[in-house]
Chains A and B, each alone.
Chain A
Amino acid sequence: MLKGLIETFFERVRAYIRQTPHKLKHRLGENLALAPVAILARPVRAGLMIVSLGAGVCVVSLSSAIISGFSSEIERLSFGAYARSLVITPNYLAADQSRVSRLTDINQLVEALGPERVDGAASWRIARQVPVAYQAERADLFVYGVLGDYQFEADMDITQGRRFEPSDVDSSRRICLLGAQAAQRLFDGRPAAGRTIRVNGASCHVQGVFAEGDTVISSRFSNAIIAPFHSAARYFMPTDFLAPNEASRQTIILKDAELIYEARLIADRTLRRRHGVPQSQPPPFLFADPGAPTSAMEQQRDLISKLLYSIAAVAMLAAILAFAGASWTLTELRRRSIAVQAIHGASYMDILIQFTAESLMLGTLGGLFGVGLALGLAQFTTPLLGWYAEFDPVLLGGSILLGVISGAIAGSASAQRAAKTLPGMAVYG
């Protein structure tokens, strides 16, 4: 029976196409022109169908945008090169951690890991709440003393002045780079490069100013100054328990994040041997896991994706069924009108084309409405979620296309039903 129906359908399509191109174009144009007339003739019903389909499209679109925004948030948190770094910090719970972060350690670790595994390495010495002043302006800032390849972590653009050269980093000169917020606090929009500020009471030449970072790790330098390790340790930091050649954190940038577990084993063995700590004792150092938050968030994202897409699929299915139901009911109500059209010469294909065009138009409007609704709702969800729901052109276009396709699918049965209406029904029931 189904095969017969399909054959009949295609036979009628072929019969329609067999007509001369002029007639085909003319009749196609007429049927397409009747579709908006029929839609506008029932504005409330058409509006409800648009809202029904739009709600489904909105849920799909918003879900995709939320997941897209979440993915971007993960990318923002993935720290760039930092995510594939071996980060070593002192273990403050160990009995003796005073010897583990010597600057020479990092050279030996790089040597043990081998140049084929390592992109760069940096030693950091960090101090919090250091008083910094320029003329009457004062601020308490972080001070980062750095030795080595600092640019992997501090990968922001420079807006004023210039970056540190390797010779600057290795020196004990009293120079610094200012973070964006720090420059704003001290200079209030005025040029900062070339000025001299006071850091922990010592004068310091501002060599450059960073732009705002777009990753979490780079944004930590926003309210801070970066200075060469030795000058920071000697001049810019309050006295603490670290020896002059000890670092707060040492970072080895690996070529591949996959190497991190192997690198940890090598680093653990090397450092224990170097500092004489047996395996039976807790190490005086710790390995931070920069990729852990990202992994956790990716797991969350996958879970949220499944949940949201399931909800979206159900919502879309419900919307399509509602649209199809409304379309079917409307077709039943319009059967007399359809029969009148048939009486005046509308063929099976004319009605089919008109109704399909109506469904496509309503579907398009539903898609547009759904996208608009999703964009509007995103304004409310953003503060609730803490990240932006991201709408890119592909998502917007895809959502509208989803509406169009859903409209066509949902309206196909009623279009068939309408096309089969017998003309005599208009007057003889």
Chain B
Amino acid sequence: MSSAAIAPQWIIQLENLFHFYGKQRTSPSVHFLAKQEFRAKEITVLVGESGSGKSTLLKMLGGLDCPGGGSLRVHWDICNEPGEKSAKAFSRLLPHTHQDLAHYRRHRVAFLFQDGGLIEEFSVLQNVLLPLRYAEIPRKLRRSRCEQALERVGLKDKIDKRLDQLSGGERHRVAMARTIAREAAIVICDEPTAALDRDNAILVREILRNEAKRGACVFIATHDERLINSDFAHNIIDIDDGVASLRVCPSASVDANSC
């Protein structure tokens, strides 16, 4: 994949999307009334009270959960992986099956979580390699991508260390390296700066900005005021009592992030 090949067109399109919790499907817990499109190179921040439905929306966007109804379309031929056969442009309606969701996550999505979501028993390299294995990235590319990603987060010298030999901040940087190495079309982040010191929080912000600059469509659920501002985010989705509304930030244009 080359970043230049990515067109700034919509990657994800939501329409009347809702989700139910539990077996009683009486009223939806999260609801998008309007049709919304999210483009490449955009950062979308999800804000709202705890329990308002931010994570639910992220799970649906990341292919971790199936919507209760409505439409969630993915523009499928954007960000083809190296070696992946270029398909004719089409959009796909999510969800389909668990198999399809796995395929979607494998080829389109990178994740960054508050606790890192690392496998404790694996080494730094194995953790960063993991999504690349499933994404069917050629072996020759994997190692170099991992090294580059770890270099960007300042952990190249700890590539063969086990996680229990790293500090909390370093572990979070490993998770960031994993997200970078994946070079995915869609980046999903859930509270990426929570419980981080100032330096690491800045690093996270820069990395996410660079991911958007590369061409990814970035979604962040956060309470961090530093991320909820128009200098950083292009779109802000306010979720209030399960109902989501989109606010576009004109000052943070795609071009601004490209600077």
Which residues of chain A have a CB within 8 Å of any CB of chain B?
12, 15, 23, 26-27, 30, 33-34, 37-38, 41-42, 337, 340-348, 350, 422-424, 426-428
19 pairs from A and B in contact (CB 8 Å cutoff) = A30-B133, A37-B122, A337-B119, A337-B121, A342-B102, A342-B105, A343-B62, A344-B131, A344-B182, A345-B107, A346-B134, A347-B102, A347-B103, A348-B98, A348-B102, A423-B64, A424-B59, A427-B111, A427-B117
**CB-nearest residue of chain B to A423:** B64
Q: Write out the residue numbers on chain A whose beta carbons fall within 8 Å of the beta carbon of B64.
A: 343, 422-424
Contact status A347-B98, CB under 8 Å: yes
Q: State A428–B57 Cα separation when bound (angstroms).
A: 13
Contact status B126-A344, CB under 8 Å: no
Interface string of B51-71 (1 = CB under 8 A from A): 000010001001011000000
Tell me whether B99 is interfacial, beta carbon within 8 Å. yes
Q: State A30–B133 Cα separation when bound (angstroms).
A: 6
Tell me whether B160 is interfacial, beta carbon within 8 Å. no
Q: State A205–B56 Cα separation when bound (angstroms).
A: 105
Contact status A344-B134, CB under 8 Å: yes
Q: State A138–B139 Cα separation when bound (angstroms).
A: 80
Knowing A27-B136, A345-B106, A345-B107, say if A12 contacts B119 (CB, 8 Å): no
Taking the nearest CB of chain A, how far is it from the CB of B46, in angstroms? 15
Q: State A26–B111 Cα separation when bound (angstroms).
A: 23
Q: Write out the residue numbers on chain A whose beta carbons fall within 8 Å of the beta carbon of B106.
A: 344-347
Q: State A124–B131 Cα separation when bound (angstroms).
A: 85
Which residues of chain B have a CB within 8 Å of any CB of chain A?
55, 59, 62, 64-65, 98-99, 102-103, 105-107, 111, 113-115, 117-122, 126, 130-131, 133-136, 182, 190
Q: State A34–B120 Cα separation when bound (angstroms).
A: 15
Contact status B115-A427, CB under 8 Å: yes
User: 7 closest pairs, A vs B, by CB?
Assistant: A345-B106, A41-B121, A345-B134, A347-B102, A344-B131, A337-B119, A424-B64
Q: Write out the residue numbers on chain A whose beta carbons fall within 8 Å of the beta carbon of B121.
A: 38, 41-42, 337
Can you add 14 more A-B contacts, CB < 8 Å, to A23-B136, A345-B134, A424-B59? A30-B133, A340-B118, A341-B130, A342-B102, A343-B111, A345-B102, A345-B135, A346-B134, A347-B99, A348-B98, A427-B114, A427-B115, A427-B190, A428-B55
